Amino acid sequence: MNYKNPDQHGYYGEFGGAFIPEMLYPNVEELQSGYLEIIESESFQREYQSLLKNYVGRETPLYFAKNLSEKYNTQIYLKREDLNHTGAHKINNAIGQVLLAKRLGKKRIIAETGAGQHGVATATACALLGLECIVYMGEIDIQRQAPNVARMKMLGAEVIPATSGSKTLKDAVNEALRDWINNPSTTHYVIGSVVGPHPFPDLVARFQSIISKEIKEQLLEQTGRENPDYVIACVGGGSNAAGAFYHFVDEEDVKLIAAEAGGFGVDSGKSAATTFLGTLGILHGSKSLLMQTVDGQVIEPHSISAGLDYPGIGPFHANLFKENRAEFFSINDEEALQSAFQLTRIEGIIPALESAHALAVLDKKRFKTDDIIVICLSGRGDKDMETYLKHL
Query: Where on the chain is the footprint of ligand PLP (CB under 6 A)?
Result: 88, 90, 117, 193, 234-241, 307-308, 352, 354-355, 378-379
Q: Minimum Å distance from CB 224 to ligand PLP?
A: 30
Give me the residue whose beta carbon is nearest to ligand PLP. Answer: 379
Task: Identify whether 166 is a catalytic site residue.
Answer: no
Three-state secondary structure readout of the chain: CCCCCCCCCCEECCEECCCCCHHHHHHHHHHHHHHHHHHHCHHHHHHHHHHHHHHHCCCCCEEECHHHHHHHCCEEEEEEHHHCHHHECHHHHHHHHHHHHHHCCCCEEEEEECCCHHHHHHHHHHHHHCCEEEEEEEHHHHHHCHHHHHHHHHCCCEEEEECCCCCCHHHHHHHHHHHHHHCCCCEEEECCCCCCCCCHHHHHHHHHCHHHHHHHHHHHHHHCCCCCCEEEEECCCCHHHHHHHHHHCCCCCCEEEEEEEEECCCCCCCCCCHHHHCEEEEECCEEEEECECCCCCECCCCCCCHHHCCCECCHHHHHHHHCCCEEEEEEEHHHHHHHHHHHHHHHCCCECHHHHHHHHHHHCCCCCCCCEEEEEECEECHHHHHHHHHHC
Q: Minimum Å distance from CB 143 to ligand PLP?
A: 19
CB nearer ligand PLP, residue 133 or residue 234: 234
CB nearer ligand PLP, residue 192 or residue 228: 192
CB nearer ligand PLP, residue 90 or residue 188: 90
Q: Minimum Å distance from CB 359 to ligand PLP?
A: 12
Q: 59, 81, 112, 335: which one is catalytic?
A: 112
Task: Identify whether 378 is a catalytic site residue.
Answer: yes
Q: How far is CA 72 from the centre of its chain?
A: 27
CB nearer ligand PLP, residue 176 or residue 235: 235
CB nearer ligand PLP, residue 88 or residue 375: 88
Q: Minimum Å distance from CB 228 to ligand PLP?
A: 19
CB nearer ligand PLP, residue 51 or residue 359: 359
Q: Minimum Å distance from CB 352 to ligand PLP?
A: 4
Q: 79, 90, 170, 216: which one is catalytic?
A: 90
Q: Minimum Å distance from CB 373 to ligand PLP?
A: 18
Query: Any idea which residues carry the catalytic annotation?
Result: 90, 112, 378
